[in-house]
């Protein structure tokens, strides 16, 4: 396989493997993906059962976890080959992440939560942060802390924070897992719209059929795995 | 606003109570250190150089320290008297530039009365006595008094007031003399022991009812209608200004080792320095205690931050997921502990002010010497700066814990 990804590919994964060792010494390859790619602006959903390794897969792409083997090219830069500080830089610059539990910082206002993410990327831009929160319908909640916001509002802050640095790749891990079906649908549309407007490719993992059927391209995580049982 | 400052500010606000307690303990530690050093230096300066215009004190055979404390600082009791003839001899000595006789032993409402010559004020008050409002020096032949500012304030005396001295310098058990004195001047505050003194003519002390003069070796009671022969007069001390340092050395040798009829305390600063050297252990103990308080307070910074690390691991993991490096998280904790220490150092100056204010009032009450609350001293800068450095050090252990936070583990869904 060529080292150089296609020009329009934001994410290219080659022979990615992550092995966990159980306390009894048994080694299991939680992630073993021979090939996967995502084009610029593309929106893809990955389905899979809870505990199948989807979150680990996203953590590997985000550089939060270090793979045992393989390559993860983000805009041509191999995340897997970088030291931790380099992965931190690449993540801040090119990746946005929406977590299932949103992971907002409790002592910070909605605006500060968005601004803080910008500090580690291109730098704080108060006007853009306000604009994003207004775009997700929270223009009148800028100074509210997460505890003063509804679950749906917290989710919208998380979306605004994730796209604040204009990431090339937006990762979403069960982003509607804590919402009721109506709000989940609204949240998904918002995520897709904001992602499209920011020009980010969206990679979303979920086990919710209602969410998955809204995507044109849906991959099964089991289908991405290398065929056969793998023991490391 | 940088990310570090934002993180630090938020954390300090979120943990306001523990932050306030830690800042208070650091402030106490810093204030204690600065106060101890400041008081020690000012006390040494005030008492070590407290003689002002005088180089030496001549008095009865005995302790040089007691002589200086009694004649210069108006503390302690007089070690005894020397004859008028000795005073005249020393005053006429070519090595002596000026000699001022003191006669003590009476008081009024706890304030010591010193009999002296009007020339004393020209030497001890920078050339001339300055009065608050109307005032003049006493007439050497009348029952008149000039009083220090503290006497006026505390004994309720003013220009024109009358009072009767009590015999002895201890208020309890003293009996009043019958002689009535009138205040002819209230001196401006000098922030020296002189503020606590009532000055009267030395002749008036000699003639006070009940006083027995033994300058001639036998008891002599002054007759109001007759002049007192010089051979019967005696003085408690003679304050001397010498013509040079070498003169002092030769007088010291002559009086203390050759004649052995009196004691010369010279130089006054050396006598007081010896006292401070003897009391040096007390300063060292106090300093040690203050340093221990600093160590304990610094330890409390470590403990309070370390205890919050578990609850903050999720926060660090989120920051890392946003792109913060391990070093950023480490630096945030060190900056936080430094900020707490800085706040403690600044608040410590307020504690310093409170301690010095109280100490100054107490010292002034007992000695007349006023301590300056914020007298320049390197410790006023070094202690807060050192505290910030210690604070940064105190943050290292909690910061290492934050540094080691595993991101993936702490980003697991919470619901």
Tell me the ipTM for this assembly. 0.88
> Which of A117, A178, A205 has the most B C-beta neighbours within 10 Å, making it the best mutation to test the interface with B?
A117
A103 touches chain B (CB under 8 A): yes
Residues B148 and B256 in one domain: yes
Pair B203, B288 in one domain:
no
Cβ of B322 within 8 Å of Cβ of A85? The answer is no
Whether the bond between B267 and the residue before it is cis, its omega within 30 degrees of 0, is yes
CB pairs under 8 A between A and B: 77
Q: Test A84 with B325 for CB contact under 8 angstroms.
A: yes
Which residues 35-54 of chain A have a CB within 8 Å of chain B? Answer: none
Output the CA torsion sign for B363, B369, B372, B375: negative
Q: What is the pLDDT of residues B257-272, one digit of tens each?
A: 887 789 999 888 888 8
Domains and CATH numbers, chain A: 9-224 (3.40.50.300)
Specify the number of domains making up chain B. Answer: 2
**B415 found inside a domain:** no
| Closest CB from A92, A115, A124 relative to B323 | A92
| pLDDT tier, B207 (very low <50, low <70, confident <90, very high otherwise) | confident
CA distances (Å), origin B285, targets B42, B194, B291, B292: 18, 31, 10, 10
Most B-contacting residue of A57, A95, A119 (CB-CB within 10 A), to test interface: A119
The reported pLDDT for the residue numbered B49 is: 55
What is the maximum span of chain A, computed from C-alpha positions, in angstroms?
Answer: 53
CA dihedral for B168, B172, B178, B179, sign (positive or negative):
positive
Q: With both helix axes pointing from N to C terminus, report the angle between A126-135 and A110-119 in degrees, rounded to the nearest 10.
A: 130
Structural domain includes residue B168 = yes
**Mutation to test the B interface, candidates A88, A92, A110, A160, most B Cβ within 10 Å:** A88
Strand partners, B101: B238
Query: Tens of pLDDT along A9-40?
Result: 899 999 999 999 888 888 888 999 999 999 99
CA-based max dimension of chain B = 108
For A83-224, where are the alpha helices, taking DSSP H only? 84-94, 110-119, 126-135, 151-163, 181-198, 209-212, 221-224
| 3-state SS, residue A2 | coil
Nearest chain B residue to A92, by CA = B323
For B380, other C-beta atoms within 10 Å of its C-beta total 18
The residue among B248, B244, B273, B241 whose CA lies nearest residue B46 is B273
- Number of other residues whose CB lies within 10 A of the CB of residue B45: 13
Asked if pLDDT for residue A110 goes beyond 50, the answer is: yes
Q: B32 with B135, same domain?
A: no
Domain that holds residue B81: 56-266
List pLDDT tens digits, range B220-232.
Answer: 887 777 788 888 8
Q: Which of B205, B233, B266 is the last residue of a domain?
A: B266
Share of chain B above pLDDT 70, in %: 95
Q: How far apart are CA B117 and CA B202, in angstroms?
A: 6
- Among the partner residues B324, B325, B415, nearest to A101 by beta-carbon distance: B415
**Residue B130 sits in the same domain as residue B183:** yes
- List the one residue out of A105, A212, A214, A92 whose CA is nearest residue A158: A105
Shared domain for B305 and B238, answered yes or no, is no
A85/B323 Cβ within 8 A: no
* pLDDT bucket at B337, cuts 50 / 70 / 90: very high
Cβ contact (<8 Å) for A178 and B415? yes
Q: H/E element holding B356? A: helix B326-367
**What integer pLDDT is reported at residue B238 of this predicted model?**
94
Kind and range of the H or E element at B249?
helix B245-253
pLDDT averaged over chain B?
88
Which pLDDT value is given to residue A231? 41
Q: What pLDDT digit, counting tens, does each position of B58-80 carry?
A: 999 989 999 988 888 888 888 88
- Please state, in angstroms and rounded to a whole number, the distance separating the CA atoms of residues B78 and B298: 49
- Name the β-bridge partners of A11: A38, A74
Check pLDDT > 90 for residue B237.
yes
- In whole angstroms, what is the distance from residue A191 CA to residue A206 CA? 14
Residue B271, in any domain of the structure: no
Distance of CA A126 to the CA centre of its chain: 23
In a domain, B384, yes or no: yes
Domain assignment present for B273: no
Q: Quote the strand ranges of B54-203, DSSP E.
A: 56-59, 82-83, 96-108, 111-116, 144-147, 162-163, 166-167, 181-186, 198-201
What is the reported pLDDT for B27? 96
- Are residues A119 and B6, on separate chains, in Cβ contact within 8 Å? yes
């Amino acid at each position: 396989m060529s080292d150089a990804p296609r020009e329009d590919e934001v994410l290219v994964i080659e022979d990615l493997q992550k092995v966990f060792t159980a306390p009894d010494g048994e080694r299991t390859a939680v992630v073993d993906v021979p090939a996967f790619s995502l084009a610029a602006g593309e929106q893809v959903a990955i389905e899979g059962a809870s505990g199948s390794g989807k979150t680990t897969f996203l953590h590997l792409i985000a550089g939060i976890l270090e793979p045992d083997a393989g390559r993860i090219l983000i805009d041509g830069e191999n995340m897997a080959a970088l030291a931790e500080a380099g992965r931190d830089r690449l993540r801040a610059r090119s990746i946005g992440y929406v977590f299932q539990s949103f992971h907002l910082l409790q002592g910070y206002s909605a605006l500060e939560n968005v601004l803080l993410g910008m500090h580690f990327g291109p730098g704080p831009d108060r006007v853009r942060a306000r604009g994003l929160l207004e775009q997700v319908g929270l223009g009148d909640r800028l100074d509210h802390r997460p505890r003063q916001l509804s679950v749906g509002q917290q989710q919208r802050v998380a979306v605004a924070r994730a796209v604040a640095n204009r990431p090339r790749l937006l990762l979403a891990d069960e982003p509607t897992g804590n919402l009721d079906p109506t709000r989940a649908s609204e949240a998904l549309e918002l995520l897709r719209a904001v992602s499209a407007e920011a020009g980010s490719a969206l990679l979303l993992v979920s086990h919710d059929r209602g969410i998955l059927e809204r995507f044109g391209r849906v991959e099964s995580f089991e289908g991405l795995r290398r065929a056969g049982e793998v023991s490391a | 606003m940088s990310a570090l400052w934002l993180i630090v500010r938020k954390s300090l606000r979120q943990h306001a109570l523990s932050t306030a307690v830690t800042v208070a303990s650091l402030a106490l530690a810093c204030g204690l250190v600065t106060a101890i050093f400041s008081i020690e230096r000012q006390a040494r300066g005030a008492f070590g150089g407290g003689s002002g215009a005088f180089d030496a004190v001549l008095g009865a055979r005995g302790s040089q320290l007691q002589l200086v404390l009694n004649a210069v600082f108006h503390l302690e009791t007089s070690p005894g008297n020397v004859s008028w003839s000795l005073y005249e001899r020393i005053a006429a000595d070519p090595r002596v530039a000026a000699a001022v006789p003191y006669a003590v032993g009476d008081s009024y409402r706890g304030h010591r009365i010193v009999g002296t010559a009007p020339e004393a004020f020209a030497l001890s008050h920078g050339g001339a006595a300055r009065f608050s409002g109307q005032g003049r020096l006493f007439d050497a032949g009348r029952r008149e008094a000039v009083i220090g500012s503290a006497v006026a304030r505390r004994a309720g005396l003013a220009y024109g007031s009358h009072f009767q001295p009590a015999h002895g310098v201890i208020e309890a058990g003293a009996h009043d003399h019958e002689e009535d004195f009138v205040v002819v001047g209230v001196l401006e505050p000098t922030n020296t022991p002189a503020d606590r003194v009532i000055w009267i003519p030395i002749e008036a002390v000699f003639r006070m009812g009940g006083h027995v003069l033994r300058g001639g070796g036998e008891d002599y009671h002054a007759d109001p209608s007759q002049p007192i022969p010089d051979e019967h007069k005696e003085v408690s001390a003679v304050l001397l200004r010498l013509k040079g340092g070498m003169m002092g050395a030769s007088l010291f040798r002559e009086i203390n080792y050759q004649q052995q009829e009196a004691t010369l305390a010279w130089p006054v600063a050396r006598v007081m320095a010896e006292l401070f050297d003897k009391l040096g252990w007390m300063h060292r103990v106090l300093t040690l205690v203050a340093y221990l308080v600093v160590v304990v307070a610094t330890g409390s910074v470590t403990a309070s931050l370390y205890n919050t690390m578990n609850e903050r691991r999720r926060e660090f993991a989120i920051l890392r997921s946003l792109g913060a490096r391990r070093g950023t998280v480490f630096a945030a904790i060190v900056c936080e502990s430094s900020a707490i220490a800085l706040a403690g150092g600044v608040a410590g100056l307020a504690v310093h002010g409170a301690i010095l204010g109280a100490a100054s009032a107490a010292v002034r009450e007992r000695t007349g010497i006023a301590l300056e609350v914020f007298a320049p001293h390197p410790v006023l800068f070094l202690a807060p700066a050192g505290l910030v450095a210690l604070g940064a050090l105190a943050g290292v252990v909690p910061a290492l814990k934050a540094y080691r936070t595993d991101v993936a583990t702490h980003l697991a869904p919470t619901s």
